[in-house]
Structure 1
Amino acid sequence: MKKLFRLFYTNLFLTNRLFGAVAACVVLFLLSFFFPWLGIVPDIAFYALLALLIADLFILYRVTDGVFAKRLAPERLSNSDENELSIYIENRYGFSVNIGIIDEIPEQFQKRDVWFTTTLAPGERKQINYMLRPTRRGEYEFGFIRVFVRSALGLVSKRYNFEQAETLPVYPSFLQMRKYELMAISNRLTEIGIKKIRRIGHSMEFEQVKSYVPGDDYRTINWKATARRGDLMVNSYTDEKSQHVYCIIDKSRAMRMPFEGLSLLDYAINASLVLSNVALLKEDKAGLITVGEKIGSIVPADKNYAQLNKIMEVLYKEKTRYLETNMEALYVTTRRVLKQRSLVVFFTNYESLPALQRQLPFLRRIAKFHLLLVVFFENTELKNLSEQPAKDVEGIYIKTIAEKFAYDKKLMVKELASYGIQSILTAPQNLTINTVNRYLEIKAKQKI
């Protein structure tokens, strides 16, 4: 009995309408002292309110399971993307009710205003959709779904608690990966900024002999087949396949810098996942290496069906470190793991020219055996500062320093190019498009 009573009052909430009605009764009682002609009006109002309150309690509590709610969530969430979740709600009362719903979302979002309101007719069912955008990989714990029900009287509200604690993993941006995958399959990459590269020459990967059509390169005419058929025949070539593409991700403290809620490491992880997927669609072999003060995870290059899942599982757990990158260990690992010439895409960040020069000897050694592409980031905040007009001496000083740092980034690109190392200097939000662009350009020019 004590437990039932505790459940009764812990799930009972008084509404503003009830407080307003009580305040009106108090005012009537006060006025009755000054205006005796009010008589028993305050008593009638009070007992009427009491009767309505009892009736409201009765109709809400006479049904133990008046509503049902359930959270509909995907098996995993995509980092940095808008993920759709839903709440299914069903009215089991015999009358219309006003519903308020609180979904206890994970603490990582730091949101306490996830509140939904709706009205349900008798037996009606609804699905309420909302979006969440996680900015960190890892496990996110969801709590209860709490539903507050009010009748048409609206004097009290009954709370229903639906225990649906669940943990959802947040993986690197697989939604972005699927978007690029669909574009690549349908040859529509140009629609999202992937530029078309003019092919220089042709690949030596033979595909078939076909009839000549205007526009074919006359240098590919197969004279023996032409003599046999009595019609012009040409050799058709296709892109070279099974080339190795390795993404190397720097996990050092330089990658902890935040941008729009995500660290640079997260941007690099999302871009690596998309690039690996596009490489596999192009029938190349994709691999992965992570490095901090020591070598982290290694996924040897392959092109089987499960390769992308292996890469995703590894990237899901990666975190930034607090020490400098061990470039010597990285060089030794590339010599040991990469058995043939490969495209090596190194995601890192340099904020000063000396930081690049410390790593340059090892980058040059890697570039001797592989096609090295160094990807690092623009400091967009400094770029914005350098473009703003200076209004005083302090503004001139800040603008000068910002321009110096921006100029140093351009010097880094020239420094790498002087040693035959390709590079991409990009804003974080353009990282994926610029990286895939460069990969397609390298494939088109047959540089691997």
Structure 2
Amino acid sequence: MKPTRLLLSWLGVLLGLNILLGAAVALQFNVPRTLHSIAWGLLLALLLLTLLDAVRLRRRPAVQVQRQMPGSLALGRWGEVRLTLTHSCAQPLTVQVFDHVPDGLSMQNLPQTLELRPGESSEVGYRLRPLRRGHFSFSRCEIQLPSPFGMWSARRFVEVEDATRVYPDFARLYGAQLLGVDNWLSQLGVRQHQRRGLGLEFHQLREFREGDSLRQIDWKATARQRTPIARQYQDDRDQQIVFMLDCGRRMRSQDGELSHFDHALNACLLLSYVALRQGDAVGLCTFAGDAPRYLAPVKGSSQLNLLLNAVYDLDTTRRTADYQAAASQLLARQKRRALVIVITNLRDEDDDALITAAKRIGRQHRVLVASLREEVLDQLRQAPVQTLPEALIYSGTVDYLNTRNELHDRLSAHGLAVLDTPPTELGAALVTRYLGWKKAGAF
């Protein structure tokens, strides 16, 4: 409980009046005693009124609060929370409300002041923007409650427990259903290469059409129907994709508002969405984290929800990536041939360890190493050079990139596919490579 400006103002006025009267008496001015009595009487009345107001404030019933909020939020996107307040006082009440938001969530439009009418509910809303993924718990709201005469205000804490989960930015995935997959992928910069030849999986028989190849003719069906019948093929729809996601210290690098790790998660979800729509199975394997996680490849749209729940609270560590241990973990669980996508941030010191691990995986699976490149490197390489310090920075950047490219060349020389891309372009690059390989039957 604390005094309001109204109480402090009245106290200041009455105390000032008594001080002036006392000073006048000390200076031997003729001040009527009645005026002294009135001044001290007003001060005493104010103190009694203040005491009564404090007692009534302590007895004032609490305000009831209910919170309506989404059960899940997308990282970096604004969401709305609604607070519903009611009270049982006989008179209208003006309160200030503040919701205690957990760390990791930024907010707008708090605190707010609103008037509560007897027997009615009042609503107030504010916005939340998650700054990191994970599980967040809300415990209480804070209400600034005024006294009946406005002399005091008290903080009341109302226990309102709620929880929400912050997932990777999956809003674009659901928005894709409205835009159409092809149009959506085009907006992301994904290019579907022109298909050469025929698909690998038989789909159906149909009448021969202009433009069909003679190799498509099914001669037995043609003889039975006495009209040209062609075989129609489609891309294989029973392939598997497994993401090997590095959770180590290198993925903590930041480009813009998101870390490399968050960009990698968004890219995994994007490719998972596309692959599941193509009829393929998608799984996940993490390494260099607090505890390895494994999600077996499964087909169907429900797998995307399982994938979201498996990664929403994943975080990076300060560990160094152990590619050999990660390869052993994957090979022990993934027996069927799959496209294994290793998402990491390569350095020249990873040469022997990564090549050995990738070759082990490559004996049974198709391997794609996706290496995230810091965007600041491209900016430094393209920046104008005018001074000696700028020349030194430019030389160091070029030397680092050349060393990095040499590692990629060594991986390619061992038959391993490498994708070197900035984090913001990883999703589109993975989808483009996946669709190209799928249409070429290169899994």
Query: With structure 2 as the length reference, what TM-score do the two structures score?
Result: 0.79
Aligned with residue 64 of structure 1, among 61, 64, 71? 61
Aligned with residue 433 of structure 1, among 415, 423, 428? 428
Tell me what 1:133 maps to: 130
Aligned-pair CA distance for 1:203: 0.8
Tell me what 1:380 maps to: 375
What residue identity is the alignment partner of 1:344?
A: V
Aligned-pair CA distance for 1:284: 0.8
SS state of the match for residue 435, structure 1?
Answer: helix
- Give the share of equivalent positions with the same residue, in percent: 24
> Residue 136 of structure 1 contacts residue 262 of structure 1 at CA under 8 Å; is this kept in 2?
no
User: 2: distance between equivalents of 1:294 and 1:14?
Assistant: 50
User: 2: distance between equivalents of 1:312 and 1:228?
Assistant: 51
Tell me what 2:298 maps to: 302
Aligned-pair CA distance for 1:179: 4.3
Tell me what 1:399 maps to: 394
Residues 281/231 of structure 1: CA separation in 2 closer, same or farther (3 Å cut): same
User: 2: distance between equivalents of 1:13 and 1:440?
Assistant: 66
Aligned with residue 110 of structure 2, among 112, 115, 118? 115
User: 1: distance between equivalents of 2:379 and 2:241?
Assistant: 34
SS state of the match for residue 147, structure 1?
Answer: strand
Deviations 1:160-215 (A, max 9, x none): 32112455454555545544566666863323333333222231322223456666
Deviates more, 1:45-54 or 1:365-374: 45-54
Is residue 360 of structure 1 aligned with residue 349 of structure 2?
A: no
Aligned with residue 99 of structure 2, among 83, 97, 103? 103
> Residue 103 of structure 1 contacts residue 143 of structure 1 at CA under 8 Å; is this kept in 2?
no
Alignment of structure 1 residues 25-424 onto 2, 5 Å: 25-29=14-18, 63-65=60-62, 67-90=63-86, 92-109=88-105, 115-122=110-117, 123-137=120-134, 139-150=135-146, 154-166=150-162, 168-175=164-171, 177-179=173-175, 188-211=184-207, 220=216, 234-260=230-256, 262-292=258-288, 296-303=292-299, 307-308=303-304, 310-316=306-312, 318-350=314-346, 352-390=347-385, 392-424=387-419
Is residue 19 of structure 1 aligned with residue 12 of structure 2?
A: no
User: 1: distance between equivalents of 2:200 and 2:318?
Assistant: 46
Aligned-pair CA distance for 1:347: 0.8
Number of aligned residues: 433
User: 1: distance between equivalents of 2:337 and 2:48?
Assistant: 85
User: 1: distance between equivalents of 2:210 and 2:81?
Assistant: 54
What residue identity is the alignment partner of 1:399?
A: Y
User: 1: distance between equivalents of 2:127 and 2:99?
Assistant: 10
What residue identity is the alignment partner of 2:5?
A: N
User: 2: distance between equivalents of 1:298 and 1:53?
Assistant: 65
Query: With structure 1 as the length reference, what TM-score do the two structures score?
Result: 0.78
> Residue 70 of structure 1 contacts residue 162 of structure 1 at CA under 8 Å; is this kept in 2?
no
User: 1: distance between equivalents of 2:212 and 2:147?
Assistant: 76
What residue identity is the alignment partner of 2:122?
A: R
Residues 384/17 of structure 1: CA separation in 2 closer, same or farther (3 Å cut): farther
Deviations 1:284-308 (A, max 9, x none): 1112222239993333322267644
> Residue 295 of structure 1 contacts residue 330 of structure 1 at CA under 8 Å; is this kept in 2?
no
Structure 1 stretches of 5 or more lacking a match? 1-11
What residue identity is the alignment partner of 2:361?
A: I
What residue identity is the alignment partner of 1:425?
A: D
Structure 2 stretches of 5 or more lacking a match? none
Residues 218/71 of structure 1: CA separation in 2 closer, same or farther (3 Å cut): farther
What residue identity is the alignment partner of 1:383?
A: D
Q: Which has the larger radius of gyration?
A: 2
Deviates more, 1:338-347 or 1:93-102: 93-102
